[in-house]
Amino acid sequence: MSFPDSAQNHLQQQRERLQAQLDYALDRSMQDGLLIGIQVRSDGWTFKVLQRVTAESFPASVGGDVWQGYVWQTWQPRRAAMEGKLPDDVRLDLQYLRGLQWMPEHNDGTGPDILLLPGGEVTPFSLLFRLVGGEAVTGLQVDENGLMTLFEGEVEL
């Protein structure tokens, strides 16, 4: 019987945290009819929700972030932490399925990189958790129906 080394276990814990949040977000998106997104950074992730802007709820200084009366806001459901900050020794890499390239430098910081639609559809993607300076990699792959697959090591997309 073999046990995973501590580096791999460390990465798996981070993946499991995101997996639990994603599972919850998928359920809430379908139950409540919410358009939810995930904004990915190399050091973590944040869940966002698309909400209608009202004059009372949002300042006029937002300007270009408003799209046809809607704006992406950080999603804060009751009693749920819906973001993740990775430890300094772990990095996150987003890969879209079907050959699309993730370009984090083109994200203006307001919109999500991944969409979770109320009908259960998801932007198909793979997230790789990498140990800085090491070879350990663990990941989570999600198809267009929200089916999650866990993997260890590099995967050909």
pLDDT in tens, the chain (157 residues): 444 578 788 899 999 999 999 999 999 999 999 999 999 999 999 999 999 887 555 555 455 556 678 899 999 888 777 899 999 999 999 999 876 666 665 556 678 999 999 999 999 999 999 999 888 899 999 999 999 999 998 655 5
Q: Where exactly are the structural domains of the chain? A: 6-152
Burial class (CB in 10 A: 0-12, 13-18, 19+), 151: middle
Regarding pTM above 0.95, the answer is no
CA-to-CA distance for 99 and 130, rounded, in angstroms? 21
Fold of 6-152: minor pseudopilin epsh fold (3.55.40)
Supply the DSSP symbol for 41. Answer: E
